[in-house]
Structure 1
Amino acid sequence: MVIIYIVGIGTFVNTAAIVVGGFFGYIFQRLLKQSLQKSILQAIGVAVIFIGSSGTLAQMFIVRQSHIEVTGILMATISLTLGTLLGELINIDARFIKLGQWLNQKVSSEDDNQFVAGFVNATLTVCVGAMAIIGPLQDALQHDPNMLFTKALLDGVIVAIYTATFGLGAIFSALPVFIFQIAITILATLIAPFLSTAMTNGISLVGSMMIFCIGINLLLDTKIKVSNMLPALLIVIVYTIL
């Protein structure tokens, strides 16, 4: 039996989940009270923490001849430190916020403020973050869409909440999500021959640590600027080459 893997399946599922979650949020908006929204996000935060932890431990601990060896700690430390430093200097997080403000000014109208606010807020939430980058990379390079499947669940709930608050505009965030993630998937497929196993494992390790931080943000309602950590993924590649 031959199993054909469809590269990009994770992005298709993610996009569909946003649309479905948005419609459910619009239909059942009166049921999604503030306390229920918070409880759902905290539950998903716990799940994301364990997903990030399992991905980190899977790359960090290697069993060789009945012995467990720890690897990648120095690489992860250097990559996250230098990557975050670079991200803070560039201030990626603030640039995303400014982009959202600019879009809101350009496309908003007095007659449709709620629609536009829902679209802009939902788009920035589901497009920005390590999962939106790491997920397509793992889908393309390792044929592993599980992170995107998890992101699909998370995005579906988030967009449902946004739709319940702002209306149908949030559902249209599915379009930029699809374009952004499928572009990363195609790019990763093209550069795959130039990436070594050490590079992909390093990307997975550091990316899983970022996923853990996303879970912390959801569970504890904190503001770890995961977006500013994204340059660490490039530092991993440079580190493995050197």
Structure 2
Amino acid sequence: MFTSLAGKTVIVTGASKGIGRGIALRFGEAGLNVLVVSRSLAEAEKVAAEIGPNASGFSADVTSEEETQAMAKVAVERYGSIDVLCANAGIFPAAKLGTMTAADFDLVMNTNLKGTFLSVSAVLSAMKAQRKGRIVLTSSITGPITGFPGWTHYGASKAGQLGFMRTAAIELAPWNITVNAVMPGNILTEGMEGMGEAYIASTAASVPMKKLGSVFDIANAALFFASEEAAYITGQGMVIDGGQVLPESPMALDEMGAP
């Protein structure tokens, strides 16, 4: 499975750490050429070095139309095509209503939602020319399904990505370009590890599988959406959360019982 991807080219934004790094590494393992994109060129090149000779780093801020266009141009120059875009770049600074400023709101929306639009727009020329492409967005369960105090702007941006995805999937279908989204729950990333063992344990306790997901759980879902095996799937979001959104109350977790 996924042998159809070998030799193709993927752009992964926000790929210097966390889920983006996991996606870049997994796509590299599958034999794709990987353009690792981050605002920090040094961090992007570090991940590219982990992948090997079929990867390279590039510095771009996804809030900039000029820089996202340059990102797409470089991918074509280095690898000859853009077959897959993983629009993963995102930020999640917490701020509750009443203290959140307009600048706070705009920063998150510009990166998470406008950045998705600009990244997708940048690759369209190359994908339309070859009449084929795969676009995978990194959304979240937060916003589309759940909420968390301090993340009204983040939740709005992630729900907005799914609204963008559905119409984009219709518009791009004539060129055989699919647009789908992965929707992670609580994933063990560097940021989560920094919260400490007690926080991780309490978060895992809210998941029916009693553990946090890994970045590769998300990367494998993105890899599926990018594959030929998923050619007839478009406009869909896939929740990867260990069942986190399923319990109707904490009592449901208490009633699970031991295996």
TM-score, structure 1 length as denominator?
0.28
Structure number with higher helix proportion: 1
Name whichever structure is richer in strand by fraction: 2
- Normalising by structure 2, report the TM-score: 0.27
